[in-house]
Structure 1
């Protein structure tokens, strides 16, 4: 438990130290504009409204684009870093941030577990996935998740998440596990810490022992972030700790974490 508390304090320190660099107005920051023909233009944001956006490019000068011409806008931070494309989760654990409407990602864990998540609205997202070995054995393990997140105040968000795991094929219905979780995230998409609590469900019954989750991340460089994901079994004085790094690209992240006991965990997330 002392180790868990130390990890939490460390994450809070990283979150606090990073706010001054990431909380800023959009005007005068660098942006990458992707047009409908998929061409990209980088420049400094001069102004924007519901109809158009004006930027200044070093090579092309002042440019004005109608919203109908724009496929996507990527806002870089004060240091010119790409934004974190995967702020909604750490490794397995989630933050209270949600996918925007129409956004999605594909996550592969160990090359075996495949998950796809999609934002139905800016506050509500769904996830579905399976595991390859069980799939080819004719008894697939199926996973789904529903998540609703919303802002409470500046730098503070909350979410409710429900996860359900079951089996299909010849063992359909033999596996029935779930969890209902409440999440509270303090910070922004680059530096944050999340506290979560919830109850496990097995065969329709609720386990009276709750699980406390403590996760967080902080941006270290343009391409790297520190990530931690920890689980505390309340009432059992037991915890599972982890820490590692996240490699960040425009639409991709790769996580490498080491869990307590030296157990490695690796995944890749592709955003679409």
Structure 2
């Protein structure tokens, strides 16, 4: 009778995955999962790999009330069908072993109510995924396993990626996913001011600032970069060279620390600024706090310059930027926007100074990214 009812349930697409209580008992896999396995639990613990995660709704395990104690999985799929599958003793043991057991409560305390396991990766969410190789893709997370994640993508189909190969994962809103959210830089600078985020090894850019100044930066390693600024037309009334080495380390996924120097020589003298900075956030959304000391001809200013700045990406192409400098006697900075694609970007900044009490356009930049742009 039990087998006949199971076959009937499998043959009826609209039937709910269940079995009569008088012929079988419903198995509980543990207080974390309970009696019903949903799609996220299937993906999190790697249950039932023979069913597609994106078509799995829920499943139940029943054990026959007869001498052979057969265990059967009744799976409800999202397309409305119900599937039946025999579960062997070895598979049942591996399923139960995959479910974590709650830690015992301290003596004298009341046990907490059972809850589902939490996971930092949300199954069903679309992510912009950046790999350590520099490549990237957008995909919907289908499954999370201890060592790997599984995505489905529009162009590449299903991808299984080792966690160790993922540099960064950014969840996307519905609007972002619909428009596309390609990487447009690693957030290493605001306008002129550097952040503590570093260029990756093999990543670089060249830029033209206010028509007359040509600059470039290149990631030697993930922690060391070098850059330079020179006039577009050397010797045409303006002669200088500036070097901009920087070193940095990530503290965690969001916090980065860096130090660097801008050293310039020209017009018969030399000088620059030595700085340290900390940046919190992602390439698209970040805030920076920096401290720098001006130096020239062997003398160092006793009062530092404090930088407070940041960037926020508000659409597929557009970001808002601000960098404010606090110095002895006042403050000033640049505020404006950047329009960016994968390799090309343009920035417009408006200068403001507390002494002048006004704001006017003063920074125009075009940049081209090369090397590992993703």
Same fold per TM (> 0.5)?
Answer: yes
The one of 194, 197, 200 aligned to 2:294: 200
Structure 1 residues 63, 123: closer, same or farther in 2, change over 3 A?
closer
Deviation of 1:26 after TM superposition, in Å, equals: 9.9
- Report deviation, 1:59: 5.8
Higher relative contact order (CA 8 A, sep 6+): 1
State how far apart, in whole Å, the 2-side matches of 1:138 and 1:147 are: 29
How many Å separate the matches in 2 of 1:233 and 1:31? 39
Residue 149 (1) aligns with residue 244 (2): no
Deviations 1:22-81 (A, max 9, x none): xx7598645699xxxxxx987557689xxx99764436644689xxxxxxx997751332
TM-superposed CA distance for 1:213, in Å, is 1.0
Q: Work out which of the residue numbers 257, 260, 263 in structure 2 matches 1:158.
A: 257
Is the CA contact 1:74–1:83 (under 8 Å) kept in the aligned structure 2? no
Question: Aligned partners of 1:184, 1:32: CA distance in 2, in Å?
Answer: 24
Distance 1:42 1:185 in 2: 25
Counterpart of 1:240? 332
In the TM superposition, 1:93-242 aligns within 5 A as 93-133=193-233, 135-137=234-236, 140-167=239-266, 174-234=268-328, 236=329, 238-242=330-334
Conserved in 1, the CA contact under 8 Å of 2:186 and 2:197? Answer: no
Alpha-carbon spacing, 1:46–1:271, altered in 2? closer, same or farther (3 Å) = farther
Q: Does 1:262 align with 2:360?
A: yes
- Of 120-129 and 150-159, more deviation after overlay is shown by 150-159
Bigger share in strand: 1
In structure 1, the residue matched to 2:89 is none
Q: List runs of 5+ in structure 2 lacking aligned partners.
A: 1-119, 131-135, 162-166, 353-358
Root-mean-square deviation (CA), in Å? 3.6
Instruction: Compute the displacement of 1:88 (Å).
Output: 0.2
Contact 1:109 1:267 (8 Å CA) reproduced = yes
Cα–Cα, structure 1 residues 154 and 111, in superposed 2: closer, same or farther, change >3 Å?
same
Answer yes or no: is the 8 Å Cα contact 2:348–2:361 preserved in 1.
no
Could you tell me whether the CA contact under 8 Å between 1:247 and 1:254 is conserved in 2?
yes
SS at match of 1:241: strand
**CA distance in 2 between partners of 1:220 and 1:59 (Å):** 25
Which has more radius of gyration? 2
Where does the alignment leave 5 or more consecutive residues of structure 1 unmatched? 1-23, 34-39, 66-72
How far the C-alpha of 1:129 sits from its partner, in A, is: 2.1
- Residues 63-121 of structure 1 show CA distances to partners (whole Å, capped at 9, x for unaligned) of 689xxxxxxx9977513322341500011001100001111111111121111101111
1:262 alignment partner, SS class: strand
